[in-house]
Amino acid sequence: MASVKMMLNFPPNVVKKPVVYKIVKDFDLEFNILRAEITSDLEGKMLLEIKGSRSKIEECRKYLQGEGVEVKEARGILFETNVCVDCGLCASLCITGALYIKEGSLRIGFDKDKCILCGLCLNACPVNAIKSMI
Note down the domain range covering 24: 2-73
**Are residues 26 and 61 part of one domain?**
yes
Q: Stretch 16-37: mean pLDDT, rounded?
A: 88
**Are residues 84 and 27 part of one domain?**
no
**Are residues 21 and 82 part of one domain?**
no
What are 46-90's pLDDT values in tens digits? 989 999 999 999 999 999 999 999 999 887 889 999 999 999 999
Does the pLDDT of residue 121 top 70, yes or no?
Answer: yes
Is residue 24 very low, low, confident or very high in pLDDT (cuts 50, 70, 90)?
confident
Is this prediction's pTM over 0.75?
A: no
DSSP string, the chain: -EEEEEEEEE-TTTTTS--TTHHHHTT--EEEEEEEEEETTTEEEEEEEEEE-HHHHHHHHHHHHHTT-EEEE---EEE-TTT-----HHHHH-SSSSEEEPTTT--EEE-GGG-----HHHHH-TT--EEE--
Query: How many independent structural domains does the chain possess?
Result: 2
**Are residues 23 and 86 part of one domain?**
no
**Are residues 88 and 27 part of one domain?**
no
